[in-house]
Amino acid sequence: MNTRKMAEKKRIALVAHDNKKSELMEWAVFNKAALARHSLFATGTTGNLLEATLKLPVKKFLSGPLGGDQQVGAKIACGELDVLIFFWDPMEAQPHDPDIKALLRVAATWNIPVACDRATADFLLTSPLMHEEYETLLTDYSTYINRKLK
């Protein structure tokens, strides 16, 4: 089985739907000291809000509906992001729902930690594994892909 090594300093992607941005900001302020130990990435508006709120550098992608979710997914697939914290709104249909589903599928495919709500984000950020090197196992999908090509 293949592995991918995560450094002690994680590369964390932060994403939030409009109705969840204020909740993510509150969570981020509460966890600022822990977040400051890592490299932060975010989609468009969320990144601007995080940077202004936390006074920490945030690498920003496009807004989610404009392709930001896909950019985050591509970075996960290339091994350039380690953790996804995505405060999504389960009660509001999003025009880019297929992009969101694809992002979550990529995160599961590459076996990275994902938090979709505040409680899970709390557990994730306070895990001792979050602040040390970690080697994640990667599923070998080649037999699945080869079977589909036949």
Q: Are the CB atoms for 65 and 96 separated by under 8 Å?
A: yes
Distance CA 32, CA 53 (A): 10
Catalytic residue list contains 97: no
Give me the catalytic one of 69, 82, 89, 97: 69
* Assigned token pair, 107: 């995160």
Distance CA 22, CA 32 (A): 15
Q: Are the CB atoms for 82 and 58 separated by under 8 Å?
A: no
Write the burial class of residue 90 (CB in 10 Å: 0-12 exposed, 13-18 middle, 19+ buried): exposed
Asked whether the CA dihedral 94, 117, 134, 32 is positive or negative, the reply is positive
Catalytic site positions: 69
